[in-house]
Amino acid sequence: MAGVFSFFGIMIFTMLLRGYSWHSYIRENICLNRIPKHHGGNNLNEKRLIDLLNYDLSGELQAIIQYLQHSYLIAGVNRPQLHDVLEEISKDEMKHAEELAERIVAMGGKPTIKPRPIIEAKTIKDMLTTDLKGEQLALKDYAARIKQAEQIGEIGTSLIIENILVDEQHHADTFVMLLRQQK
Ligand SMILES: [Fe+2]
Ligand SMILES: [Fe+2]
């Protein structure tokens, strides 16, 4: 019973916060296969998908630079191991950026050269925590992108993004395990 009340509590709180009506809340949060508005809503077309892929590309460019910078800054006895891990992950992100850019060009778009803001961190724990958050965001975004590409018949794009998502999952798992070693 308490669960039912907390479910409705969260629902009402979200509605008040975002100024939703019952109808739009249910449509956006409960209906299956929903696509959130900030991910293009249901008005998807090829041009909108190119914009979303460029948004993803800017995240990959951020990750390349951020992980490299973290790899340079890491100090202490674990430096060789952590430096190499971060450098390897940065190379994976480079591969992702290339795949997205090639897809964007093939679809008639222009790949962005602007990374999202690089997040600096002072301690190893902060670096790994920041990097893990970036991977978790990428996992969420790519999960949405796979559905969106499928929805407009871009099956190849969807499969390419599926492979990228698998890499991001490995990266997130790596950061989780490295964080366990930190005190
Ligand atoms: Fe990536
Ligand atoms: Fe990643």
86 has a pLDDT exceeding 50: yes
pLDDT value, residue 39? 59
pLDDT in tens, 114-153: 999 999 999 999 999 999 999 999 999 999 999 999 999 9
pLDDT value, residue 28? 41
CA–centroid distance, residue 138 to ligand 2 (Å)? 7
Give the count of alpha carbons within 13 A of 42, CB side only.
Answer: 6
Give the global pTM. Answer: 0.78
pLDDT in tens, 87-108: 999 999 999 999 999 999 999 9
Q: Which CATH code is given to the segment(s) 44-181?
A: 1.20.1260.10
| Domains in the chain: boundaries | 1-31, 44-181
Rounded Cα distance, 39 and 98, in Å: 22
CA–centroid distance, residue 167 to ligand 1 (Å)? 7
5 has a pLDDT exceeding 80: no
pLDDT value, residue 90? 98
Average pLDDT over residues 13-33: 44
Question: What residues does the ion ligand 1 have nearby, CB within 5 Å?
Answer: 60, 93, 96
pLDDT in tens, 34-46: 445 555 555 799 9
Long-range contacts of 86-91 (CB under 8 A, 24+ apart): 86/131, 89/63, 89/131, 89/171, 89/174, 90/63, 90/64
CA–centroid distance, residue 7 to ligand 1 (Å)? 34
Tokens of 155: 């099956």
